């Protein structure tokens, strides 16, 4: 089972858990999710935007970009 994370709010779709709130029972594979599936948490991102999370390998390659606000003096 694979997890997919929303790049915007961090919502995690777990195939093992599914999204019963949206009508996807536990075990619903990501492939079974329609392409226009919106993030159930922020409704901003859709399925193609989600990032694959490899649960088998703990690869810490996604660093959190700190939005540095430049102070214009
Ligand atoms: Zn989201």
Give 9-72 as a DSSP string. T--EEETTT-BGGGTB-TT--GGGS-TTPBPTTTSS-BGGGPEEE-SSS-----PPPP-PPP--
Q: Is the pTM of this model over 0.75?
A: no
pLDDT at residue 4 is higher than 80:
yes
Share of the chain above pLDDT 70, in %: 74
Q: Residue 56 pLDDT > 90, yes or no?
A: no
Instruction: Compare 72 and 33 and report the one with higher pLDDT.
Output: 33
pLDDT tops 80 at residue 57: no
What structural domains and CATH numbers belong to the chain?
Answer: 3-53 (2.20.28.10)
Give 18's contacts (C-beta < 8 A, 6+ positions apart).
24, 25, 26, 27, 28
Separation of CA 27 and ligand 1 centre (Å): 20
State in Å: Cα 62 to ligand 1 middle.
Answer: 16
How far is ligand 1, taken at its centre, from the CA of residue 72, in Å? 31
For residues 22-29, give the mean pLDDT: 96
């Amino acid at each position: 089972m694979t997890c997919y994370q929303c790049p915007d709010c961090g919502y995690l779709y777990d195939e093992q858990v599914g999204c019963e709130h949206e009508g996807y029972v536990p075990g619903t594979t990501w492939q079974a999710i329609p392409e226009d599936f919106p993030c159930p948490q922020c409704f901003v991102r859709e399925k193609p935007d989600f990032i694959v999370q490899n649960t088998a390998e703990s690869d810490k390659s996604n660093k959190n970009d700190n939005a540095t606000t430049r102070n214009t003096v």
